[in-house]
Structure 1
């Protein structure tokens, strides 16, 4: 352990030293370029990354009022994992539920499940991943053009489920531009830690004014290797490979649109199947399937005074079966959802520019026993109708942003002991924020937001066994809506090769809903027994507060670049103690080099031990160090750009158990692994 700590300290000091040196060089070069009226080799030019889920489609660097991160290009490919949680787990303020390799969902600032909304191209993914950590997100990052993380006011425009933030996977299955020739990419990779094979690809083209798109992903990964024993402190629990951590995924999508000067209109269809293991003691497996249909259109200058009209509609048919040891279904989850969205952006009026619109959703959801026992969640119909508005105006140097959303949600259980116990919720959300560039290249922002969330179907009506989590879930149909009051202060340096940002936030949530594992053991019928842990959904007031900071040097330029970051959050019920599954404090550093055809990088994340436990949690997590590296080389081969790459993950082979995982006692993350791959672009 002392050797490991010395290595960690040396690596961090080396990273900070290199970044400091790069900072001095970068600032000197930038100042020299300013004196000469030029920027040498474009080094000071930072790539403008557009956030498509923002109503103003502004750049990533402009998101002081709605803090954002966009992963795309080489950065996305280097960080891509078998799940969205793994892909995003080292971003500022983001951790992962880590329920095995097949199911890991992003957690934003300590908020998870139904409080973090998952989108695909700006529309709800409409899976059931928000219900429980063992359910995989039905959106694939391997074929994504970019993945966006949003927090703050803009996230609230997508529904009360975005009270903690949202993640938007952008794959552009409905293309919006006409490609002059066929373009695309294909990638194949092999990973040693799980003998994993992965192949993915996208292709875009056009015939006349019709744009065409196709993408696909194939993944086969076996049980992954772990560095220590399966169960904390139990040498007899086994080591080597973690049983039931495999995944088998297939995903394909096609789309087309008619594109003209006035805008575009198009449609897409996609199908996903995913069979993955749950590394619990019971050895469950989940067989997941989803088909979705989407249409989208945009009309520029639809009538006088308006910039564009955008409409979207999508229908999703989702189901998954939780399989027992004999491969027989135990519980079958089914979700059929239809969503529509209409947005109208107006030209400036008295200096205000903005977007308003309406959104509807109609969902039929159930989690029914396949063995004749109690149903986990009864057949329930949910409907929602919402109107939203967001506006911006410059008041001298200060940019003011205001927004609001009104929403009506109705839940109607059709079966089970709560049949006919309908609930309706009228929800109001609003925000106001200001951005002040207090000096050249620096800005400060202050945002206040108020949001209400309707209890999810499972929080209201659950009353049955959930074998994958080994719980018997009991909801409460009398729950009140959650009410969140959030204040956030942001300061950032917005120009130059050296940039930084820091955020402070406090979120006061009335009637916060959480699952309380009581300690009682029951059987599949809910009677006293030894098979399942009783989990009762409860409400109570809570406060979540935290801080984040990040510094980057020459983030998108050639030559040396660097990053350091740190984040921390605390979630506490007002009655005392801690909220469950709270993330650990983290600090990280990375160094990268890019020149011509060569790219290389090294990153180290240190997470502190986490002993802030809820009353029903018993196991604190130890600190860990996660050291990753990447190396790639690109060469021309005719019309193709061929990239050979190598990714090394958990180089220290550290035993990593994340505090945000329900399975932290029995399922550590994967040990040291090397990924070999080749990518072709044309």
Structure 2
């Protein structure tokens, strides 16, 4: 449409020409600290481990009903878009078990990596910040982080004492789905004890879609998308003892999430998780060492896949115990680093409730890893290196046990060739053990309408990645650009065949056969982003673009590849008022895998926001209005299994109020 092309051009032009009216109070753009790195460095220092941190107003504007929706417009990140309840981040075309989900630096231990219909068991509405890491630092958190990691930080275990109670409370209403959401958190202290509590409640109905449900079918249903509703409740409490030597604390949380799957079958998922964590830090534990940190987390996860009569068809369970110990040493011979050990012990199953074939049999997995990361300087050049050695064992109750020895390593260099400008390069070598479902699946998966067949003889994946980066890191106008290529030997993917099976695995007409296979593959791409005065008063702007290509070396494309995108935004902040407009254009995606049949059309997504903050006593009260998909476009995500029958929501207005104290 001409109006859409005009809007796109105007937004890009404004992003480049916004005048320099004001800076932040100290003349600098505020930096955010990345917690999921060994040295807790600032976001702007992450050229060796490219990162993005969503926090503050930016996070509140983007937070959605799922982690995928919240992060879907970040550089190099797309979403699986499996309805409103389940959408997982996809980083540089890699998804599932190759992208690790963390909460406060520990694995979420859900089963979202197994299939796109499974929601991530972490709530963004109560998070303080969400971190995206791609590259070498991500490998320190496990071999499953070949594609990167996402860390949701809610600080349930306090690490500092508050002088007086602080917190926030937010309520919002969305028009597209009659959605209501209330969330909040509070922190305080009693003597040397820090205390925290948070909670979230969400209730949303089926959302409205712009046109017809089935792509290209004018006779299909319109109005609201069936089975796109979601109801979620979560709560968490934590406390810690904090003194000059460090801290020790614990937390407990519960999540309950019931949501629909907008497939033809219309199944639902009833998800529950209880989580228990401890975290401790000792400063100067021994001569020559800065700190010792120990963390442990136990999760008891379960979800039931319900049929159209709300009867459980398959029960997924995962009980996991993870520990992590880190020791950071003072600089020695110019080297400053952290080394540690990590263990994980899980019991996972996906069992049929009617005596039919189990989707995944009961399987016990154990992993033990040691890791090391060091930083040094050679004149003006900063050097970073890391190594991880890991052993993973898979022990099913009725199949072949497997044992994998994995090695991951990385090396990077950063050269600030002139003040405010840097160029860097990283190379990494990473190995991943096949996931449980890739090895041992052997039954129907109702939500995806596939009959999954694993291969117990799969080999470990081996990834060789190189990345080149350049960026401008100071001043109101900042930019960065990345080029990357990832060669993966024995890449594991689900191949959907032409065979149709029943729920017993016999010839039928309900389930598509999906075989887990291996082949050499490569993924390459580029990203660029330019930002102007992102956090200061006055005008601000941003423009970004990203592209990636995933192909099998033997010929053909990898499935569910993201579309090429370009986006632009402008904003204005002055006194109590703040507002902005953003537009993302995605090209049509016709790079299909052998078994994919339909291309994905391009789209333009226009969003806007405006807010006003007033003082009410000693509190800040912010009234806000968010507008999403203002053009009411029929948006289909090429990364979604349901793209042909499940468009994204139509035009949506979100009205809300937030208070901070």
Question: TM class by shorter-chain length?
Answer: over 0.9
Query: 1:43–1:558: 8 Å Cα contact kept in structure 2?
Result: no
What is the distance in 2 between the residues matched to 1:207 and 1:131? 43
What is the distance in 1 between the residues matched to 2:549 and 2:638? 13
What is the distance in 1 between the residues matched to 2:159 and 2:525? 39
1:235 Cα deviation (Å)? 2.1
Q: Output one character per residue of 1:580-624: Cα deviation in whole Å (capped at 9) or x when no partner.
A: 000000000000101111000000000000000000100100010
What is the distance in 2 between the residues matched to 1:471 and 1:660? 17
1:43 Cα deviation (Å)? 6.3
Aligned to 2:657: 678
Question: Aligned pair 1:155/2:151, yes or no?
Answer: no
Aligned to 2:569: 590
What is the distance in 1 between the residues matched to 2:27 and 2:561? 38
SS of alignment partner, residue 101 of structure 1: coil
Partner residue of 2:6 out of 7, 10, 24: 10
Question: Aligned pair 1:210/2:193, yes or no?
Answer: yes
1:18 Cα deviation (Å)? 2.4
Partner residue of 1:371 out of 354, 357, 360: 354
Partner residue of 2:528 out of 549, 557, 565: 549
SS of alignment partner, residue 520 of structure 1: strand
1:519 Cα deviation (Å)? 1.4
Question: Aligned pair 1:519/2:498, yes or no?
Answer: yes
5 Å-filtered alignment, 1:117-266, equals 117-266=100-249
SS of alignment partner, residue 110 of structure 2: coil
What is the distance in 2 between the residues matched to 1:503 and 1:583? 17
What is the distance in 2 between the residues matched to 1:296 and 1:511? 37
What is the distance in 1 between the residues matched to 2:106 and 2:15? 39
Q: Output one character per residue of 1:145-168: Cα deviation in whole Å (capped at 9) or x when no partner.
A: 000000111000000010100000
What is the distance in 1 between the residues matched to 2:335 and 2:118? 42
Partner residue of 2:629 out of 644, 650, 663: 650
What is the distance in 1 between the residues matched to 2:51 and 2:533? 19
Q: Output one character per residue of 1:194-243: Cα deviation in whole Å (capped at 9) or x when no partner.
A: 00000000000000000000000000000000001011122222000000
Aligned to 1:37: none
1:12 Cα deviation (Å)? 2.8
SS of alignment partner, residue 236 of structure 1: coil
What is the distance in 2 between the residues matched to 1:237 and 1:188? 35
5 Å-filtered alignment, 1:46-445, equals 46-415=29-398, 418=399, 421-445=400-424
Q: Output one character per residue of 1:470-525: Cα deviation in whole Å (capped at 9) or x when no partner.
A: 00000000000000000000000010100000000000000000000001100001
Query: 1:97–1:106: 8 Å Cα contact kept in structure 2?
Result: yes
SS of alignment partner, residue 4 of structure 2: helix
Q: Output one character per residue of 1:92-120: Cα deviation in whole Å (capped at 9) or x when no partner.
A: 00000000000000000000000000000
Aligned to 1:488: 467
What is the distance in 1 between the residues matched to 2:15 and 2:442? 54
Partner residue of 1:455 out of 434, 443, 450: 434
Partner residue of 1:568 out of 523, 539, 547: 547
Structure 1: runs of 5+ lacking an equivalent: 30-39
Query: 2:206–2:226: 8 Å Cα contact kept in structure 1?
Result: yes
SS of alignment partner, residue 157 of structure 1: helix
SS of alignment partner, residue 219 of structure 2: helix
Please give the root-mean-square deviation of Cα atoms over the aligned residues, in Å: 0.9
Aligned to 1:20: 16
What is the distance in 1 between the residues matched to 2:497 and 2:24? 62
What is the distance in 2 between the residues matched to 1:666 and 1:673? 20
SS of alignment partner, residue 7 of structure 1: helix
Question: Aligned pair 1:622/2:595, yes or no?
Answer: no
TM-score computed with the length of structure 2 as normaliser: 0.99
Query: 2:127–2:154: 8 Å Cα contact kept in structure 1?
Result: yes
What is the distance in 1 between the residues matched to 2:11 and 2:491? 40
1:440 Cα deviation (Å)? 1.1
Query: 2:525–2:546: 8 Å Cα contact kept in structure 1?
Result: yes
Aligned to 2:511: 532
1:640 Cα deviation (Å)? 1.3
Query: 1:290–1:318: 8 Å Cα contact kept in structure 2?
Result: yes
Stretches of 4+ moved more than 6 A in 1? none
Aligned to 1:478: 457
Query: 2:207–2:225: 8 Å Cα contact kept in structure 1?
Result: yes
Query: 1:43–1:554: 8 Å Cα contact kept in structure 2?
Result: no
Q: Output one character per residue of 1:537-565: Cα deviation in whole Å (capped at 9) or x when no partner.
A: 00000000000000000011110000000
What is the distance in 1 between the residues matched to 2:587 and 2:26? 36
Query: 1:44–1:554: 8 Å Cα contact kept in structure 2?
Result: no
Query: 2:548–2:562: 8 Å Cα contact kept in structure 1?
Result: yes
SS of alignment partner, residue 296 of structure 2: strand
1:57 Cα deviation (Å)? 0.5
What is the distance in 2 between the residues matched to 1:313 and 1:21? 50
